[in-house]
Amino acid sequence: MSLPSLEAIQIPSAGFEHALPFVPHGVALCNARGVHDTRTAEMALTLTLASQRGLPQFFDAQRRGRWEPWETAPSLADSRVLIVGYGSIGAAIGDRMRACEAHVEGVARSARIAPDGTTVHAIDDILGLLPAARIVVLVTPHDDSTDRLANAEFLAAMPDGALLVNVGRGAVVDTDALLAELRAGRLRAALDVTDPEPLPDDHPLFDAPGCIVVPHIAGFAQLTDRRYVALVRRQVEALRRGEGPVNRVA
């Protein structure tokens, strides 16, 4: 199909690395920055609270018809949360974590102070930051620089009992290395994304101790649909007015 007047391609995701090989020369690629912030942040907070407060254990006890209190489950409040990938979604997650009285810092390609006042560290410093983080949230795209970022060395640097939350891309985590930590009972995990994905039936992650798995649903909901439609309308109007494409990433 020939589209000689094509100016821009709008994709529905914040991540865009998967679309780059298909973009014709001279055509802008635009992502859905801002569309998924709220929904993904809600899921990151939900997964964090569910793991911290032991909800899987309580749901299991309810299913078995048993009253099994666990009064010493860790709180989110006063925890140190490290958000790896402090862009617009990372900032939305940070807002919700701070509302629960957690201490939040970010990690990105370079160090800075984010517009919301959060201290953001350079990714090169991450191994030195992990020992102090009780909760690590991954919300990075997947590319060569983030492939298996959370590898055995990364996970080993996290303190005993820490929680890894992944709402970014599954391949950012080394699944085998994570399974080893979960089976040892040293770390916990709450995963919206996995590698492989979809996760095959009976995959070891499903019954790994201390692990919550949900099927990549953080960004999908009616709220997301409405906001994506609004973005497409803005995109069309911007192009009609001769302005640059909205959310251009390439």
Q: Per the residue annotation, which of 39, 169, 188, 227 is the catalytic one?
A: 169
The yes-or-no answer on residue 248 being catalytic is no
* C-alpha–C-alpha distance, residues 205 and 80, integer Å: 25
The yes-or-no answer on residue 216 being catalytic is yes
Q: Among residues 72, 139, 71, 143, which one has the least CA distance to residue 104?
A: 139
Segment holding 208, helix H or strand E: none
* C-alpha–C-alpha distance, residues 44 and 94, integer Å: 10
Tokens at residue 164, please?
């890894």
DSSP H helices in 110-240:
126-129, 152-157, 175-183, 222-240
Q: Per the residue annotation, which of 39, 96, 216, 227 is the catalytic one?
A: 216
Q: Per the residue annotation, which of 197, 233, 234, 248 is the catalytic one?
A: 197
The yes-or-no answer on residue 42 being catalytic is no
Q: Which residues are catalytic?
A: 169, 197, 216
